[in-house]
Chain A
Amino acid sequence: MLNTGVKNELIQIVGTGRYLDRPEELACYSYDAFVEEALPDAVIFPETTAEVSEILKTASRYKTPVTGRGAGTSVCGAPIPVRHGIVLCFSKMDKIIEVNTRDRYVIVQPGVINADIQKALLPFGFFYPPDPGSMNSSTIGGNIAQNAGGPRCLKYGVTVDYVLGLEVVLASGDIIRFGSRNIKDVTGYKLSSLFCGSEGTLGIITEAILKVLPKPEAVKTLMVTFNNLDNTAKAVTDIIGSGILPAAMELMDKLTLNAIEDTANLGLDRNAEGTLLIEIDGVKEACDKEMEKIIEKVRKNGAVYIQEAGSEIEREKLWTARRSAYGVFAKLAPDIISEDVTVPVSKVPEMTRRIIEITNRYGLRVGVLAHAGDGNMHPMVPADKSNKEEWQRVEKAFAEIFKAAADLGGTLSGEHGIGLAKSAYLPLVMNQATIDFMKKIKQAVDPVGILNPGKFV
């Protein structure tokens, strides 16, 4: 519990209705989709930028930690309040302020759900490309803070590529605004890059201007199966190497595919060692041409079965099934660790082999899932955290997986962020001077260290 002084000041700002601190409520804000948990002392639902500013001023004065939260769907522990204090939850600050497809932008509050932006754009024939697996629940504030990606980011890029401007409240309570409604804007530092992926450690996002795109004229979705995972990965490298850029290219191994099929009953081939879900979009004629080329490449790599999604409903079913991949693993064990190490796409076959070799060596089950076209691997290990011996093996295996990715010129995270999950491994991909540089930035904007303390910086 916060001391009465802070509590009263905070209630002054938002009223009693948007200030929660009963134990039953606090328990609901102690987790996200990661395996750790920590209780906050209070949960506050701001509705305006001015309120956020007042809250941060108070928190700074009392040195109370503040952790931002949207829908709590992070898989790396970013919104878990490990140093307790305040959870600032944006689920109720959820207005779409402007939809302007003529100038190709939308302006939204941080609590707007990603899928609701898509819905608002649909009648205009536009879309917002970043599509994290959690897009039906996760908020745009969290998407920006984590610099979220998703399957179609292979072609379209991740969140940072779509943030035109932000309004951010700093730890001091100062409100800053940068960027603009313009697609081209090179005025000063590109501060949106700084805040995308800052995971709530530098400031609290209170409004965002996002770039949107017209929906492509045609979409084609292809399901290809292989009887060998190595060939599956090689096909990916081959397709990308040939100059085709699909919107998405998802790789699933046998364990993943079966876990999905148990839930979705789509009639997927349970015996396939590797499956690719490939989507291309664009002008119809170009799609047809690319499709031909892709089919040629997968055949050359020993594809067993090739099937095109016949209808929009069928296509949607395939993607819903793919998006459920994280959840379906919960059926296999009490806990699940899903990481998102990323390697250059030509290294996908090698990285796949290493993931399997490492997990086998530690006696663990692994599901290999990947946004393979951009080298973003998702090794998923179902395990039991309460089994200390097994959990140690899990930790050791992931340490080796991170190291393997770094050795192949890869990186720790392609789209989830660092959070609690990977902060210890930063030195694998950054030298000390770089880590110090991030610390200096943090110190400069949040000298007391109230913003999401205990995380990677």
Chain B
Amino acid sequence: MKEKILQNCGKCGLCLNACPVYKQLKEESASPRAKLQLIKAYDQHTLASSPFLKEIISKCMMCGSCSAACPSGIDHYSKFMEMRRKMVEAHGETPAIKSLIYLLAREYRTRFGVGIARAGQKIMPKVLAEKFKLGNIPLKNFPELNAVPFRKAHDEIIVPKGKPVGRVIYFTGCATNYLYDDTGSATIGILRHMGYEVIIPKDQTCCSIPLLFHGAKEKAMGNIRTNIKALEKLDADAILVDCSTCGEALKNEYPRLFESHDKNLAAAQKIAPQVTDILSFISLHFDLLQFDPKITEKVSLTYHAPCHTKNTLQSRGIAEKLLQTLPTVTYKQTPDFDQCCGGGGTFFYEYPEVSKKMVDKKIESAKALQVTHWLTDCPVCRMNLAGNTEKSDGLTVLHPVALIYAALKQI
């Protein structure tokens, strides 16, 4: 007997201990259960809309931990997304978030904005960079923007080294394109080493998750159509992402929007099953890797599991296993390796105090391991972890692909 699943919250409270924000604030309003109650009250007109209600609803990482723990099978994600949209419609968005959305909604604007920011980074007086913070992160600790956007620096088609085994599409996401080209270079390096032809569709753009989280659904739909068009026409073994949030978008969110919002997005359903995160892909084809026998000194490292990797991409546990199998690595694990770091998209910017407490706890336990590298496969986690560690902490924060690539034999 299988019945239709109702979206009813039994208010059992099992989500309280799953929610990183509740655990930090210990106030019911921060909990997923309370947000559902408030949405219900708002829908039934027993609670009026207000800027404060918007604040409560947006004080959320959108990390998906509640849904993963919920015995009633509630899709918090979609409910919160919809409520966020209503709240932004009613009460607007802060100027900073508005400009972010404006930039991400069109690829050329993002490029332009990043260009200006890069110029800004160069001419910013050192005293300012030392003194000021964006959210919980000191400006001086922000990553430097890529000299040239990653996708501009690379051809659309990249041939494999050695014996060809197949072809993959690489959806780079904004972070690799503008911030972390080291992740992109390592990803391509590994895939070529394995024998894959890599296609980086030029027309791809922001996956739209940041826009959807901030209620800009219509703007998001534009990007989504562009991405689907760029991906659907290609024939490949897999569509790879190096960012778990982009992965969540392509794999889960696009098909959901097809169901609920735009029947013209049917190709989303064809694309979704092909989407894999790079670490899962490497694990699956581990036998194609040849490690450099000359490397004798092992790198000691630990790993931070991003919420979207463990909750929504269903690749929980894969990165840890992969890192443990690398011959050039000593892998250590903190007891809180899978706890949220407090980055959460723009959460670190909007709620710096809550976020700071969370990241500091993580840093303490990572430092206690006395390792040199801290790996994570989400760019926001990386920015947050790196941005809050000091040089003296002796931790280099990287995407796991960087160390995997460094361990490979030159062919």
A and B are partners in one complex rather than unrelated chains: yes
Chain A interface (Cβ < 8 Å from any Cβ of B):
20, 22-25, 27-29, 31-33, 45, 71-73, 89, 91-92, 94, 111, 113, 115, 134, 136-138, 254-255, 258, 262-263, 270, 323-336
Q: Which residues of B contact A327 (CB under 8 A)?
A: 10, 12, 14, 70-72
Selected from A25, A111, A254, A258, the residue in CB contact (under 8 A) with B29 is A25
A22 to B1, CA, bound (A): 45
Q: Which residues of B contact A333 (CB under 8 A)?
A: 6, 8
Known: A263-B73, A334-B8. A28 touches B14 (CB 8 A): no
Known: A115-B17, A134-B12, A262-B5. A328 touches B34 (CB 8 A): no
A262 to B48, CA, bound (A): 36
Known A134-B13, A262-B73; 14 more pairs at CB < 8 Å = A24-B47, A25-B27, A28-B28, A31-B11, A32-B13, A33-B12, A72-B13, A254-B1, A262-B5, A327-B12, A329-B10, A331-B5, A331-B8, A331-B72
List, sorted by A's number, 30 A–B pairs whose CB atoms are closer than 8 Å.
Answer: A24-B38, A25-B29, A27-B34, A27-B47, A28-B27, A28-B37, A71-B16, A72-B11, A91-B26, A94-B26, A115-B17, A134-B14, A136-B14, A136-B17, A137-B16, A137-B17, A263-B73, A323-B14, A326-B10, A326-B12, A327-B10, A327-B71, A328-B72, A328-B73, A330-B8, A330-B12, A331-B5, A331-B72, A334-B6, A335-B8
- Tell whether B56 is near chain A: CB-to-CB under 8 Å: yes
Chain B interface (Cβ < 8 Å from any Cβ of A):
1-3, 5-6, 8-14, 16-17, 26-29, 31, 34, 37-38, 41, 47-48, 50, 52-53, 56, 70-73
* Closest CB in chain A relative to B26 CB, distance in Å: 4
A72 to B13, CA, bound (A): 7
Known: A111-B26, A258-B1, A258-B2. A330 touches B16 (CB 8 A): no
A335 to B40, CA, bound (A): 14
* Closest CB in chain B relative to A238 CB, distance in Å: 29
| Residue among B10, B31, B37, B70 with most chain A CB within 10 A | B10
Q: Which residues of B contact A263 (CB under 8 A)?
A: 71, 73
Question: Which residue of chain A lies nearest to B71 when distances are taken between CB atoms in the complex?
Answer: A327
Question: Cβ of A24 and Cβ of B56 under 8 Å apart?
Answer: yes
* Closest CB in chain A relative to B42 CB, distance in Å: 9
A45 to B27, CA, bound (A): 9
| Residue among A71, A89, A254 with most chain B CB within 10 A | A71
A263 to B28, CA, bound (A): 25
Question: Cβ of A326 and Cβ of B71 under 8 Å apart?
Answer: yes
Selected from A28, A71, A92, A258, the residue in CB contact (under 8 A) with B38 is A28
* Closest CB in chain B relative to A15 CB, distance in Å: 15
Question: Cβ of A336 and Cβ of B10 under 8 Å apart?
Answer: yes
Q: Which residues of B contact A326 (CB under 8 A)?
A: 10, 12, 71
Question: Cβ of A324 and Cβ of B71 under 8 Å apart?
Answer: yes
Question: Cβ of B72 and Cβ of A330 under 8 Å apart?
Answer: yes
| Dominant SS among interface residues on chain A | mixed
Question: Cβ of A262 and Cβ of B2 under 8 Å apart?
Answer: yes
Selected from B6, B41, B50, the residue in CB contact (under 8 A) with A330 is B6
| Dominant SS among interface residues on chain B | loop
| Residue among B9, B29, B47 with most chain A CB within 10 A | B29
Question: Which residue of chain B lies nearest to A94 when distances are taken between CB atoms in the complex?
Answer: B26
A111 to B53, CA, bound (A): 26
Q: Which residues of A contact B9 (CB under 8 A)?
A: 330
Q: Which residues of B contact A111 (CB under 8 A)?
A: 26
Q: Which residues of A contact B72 (CB under 8 A)?
A: 327-328, 330-331
Q: Which residues of A contact B31 (CB under 8 A)?
A: 28
Selected from A24, A73, A92, A334, the residue in CB contact (under 8 A) with B26 is A92
Q: Which residues of B contact A92 (CB under 8 A)?
A: 26
A79 to B29, CA, bound (A): 16
A255 to B34, CA, bound (A): 28
Selected from B5, B14, B38, the residue in CB contact (under 8 A) with A27 is B38
A124 to B170, CA, bound (A): 49
Question: Cβ of B71 and Cβ of A24 under 8 Å apart?
Answer: no
- In the A-B complex, the 4 residue pairs with the closest CB atoms: A327-B71, A330-B10, A324-B71, A330-B72
Question: Which residue of chain B lies nearest to A332 when distances are taken between CB atoms in the complex?
Answer: B3
A255 to B9, CA, bound (A): 19
Q: Which residues of B contact A330 (CB under 8 A)?
A: 6, 8-10, 12, 71-72
Q: Which residues of A contact B38 (CB under 8 A)?
A: 24, 27-28
A23 to B10, CA, bound (A): 22
Question: Cβ of A331 and Cβ of B17 under 8 Å apart?
Answer: no
Question: Which residue of chain A lies nearest to B53 when distances are taken between CB atoms in the complex?
Answer: A24
* Closest CB in chain A relative to B277 CB, distance in Å: 22
Question: Cβ of B70 and Cβ of A91 under 8 Å apart?
Answer: no
Q: Which residues of B contact A332 (CB under 8 A)?
A: 3, 6
* Closest CB in chain B relative to A250 CB, distance in Å: 16
Known: A331-B5, A334-B6. A28 touches B13 (CB 8 A): no
Selected from B5, B8, B12, the residue in CB contact (under 8 A) with A73 is B12
A137 to B17, CA, bound (A): 5
Question: Cβ of A33 and Cβ of B13 under 8 Å apart?
Answer: yes
Question: Which residue of chain B lies nearest to A90 when distances are taken between CB atoms in the complex?
Answer: B26
* Closest CB in chain A relative to B28 CB, distance in Å: 4
Selected from A22, A72, A325, A331, the residue in CB contact (under 8 A) with B28 is A72
Selected from A24, A113, A254, A334, the residue in CB contact (under 8 A) with B17 is A113
* Closest CB in chain B relative to A275 CB, distance in Å: 15
Question: Cβ of A24 and Cβ of B8 under 8 Å apart?
Answer: no
Question: Cβ of B28 and Cβ of A29 under 8 Å apart?
Answer: yes
* Closest CB in chain B relative to A418 CB, distance in Å: 19
Question: Which residue of chain B lies nearest to A32 when distances are taken between CB atoms in the complex?
Answer: B11
Question: Which residue of chain A lies nearest to B8 when distances are taken between CB atoms in the complex?
Answer: A330
Question: Cβ of B14 and Cβ of A331 under 8 Å apart?
Answer: no
Selected from A27, A137, A335, the residue in CB contact (under 8 A) with B41 is A27
Known: A28-B28, A28-B29, A262-B5. A71 touches B37 (CB 8 A): no
Question: Which residue of chain B lies nearest to A22 when distances are taken between CB atoms in the complex?
Answer: B52
A352 to B72, CA, bound (A): 25
Question: Which residue of chain A lies nearest to B2 when distances are taken between CB atoms in the complex?
Answer: A262
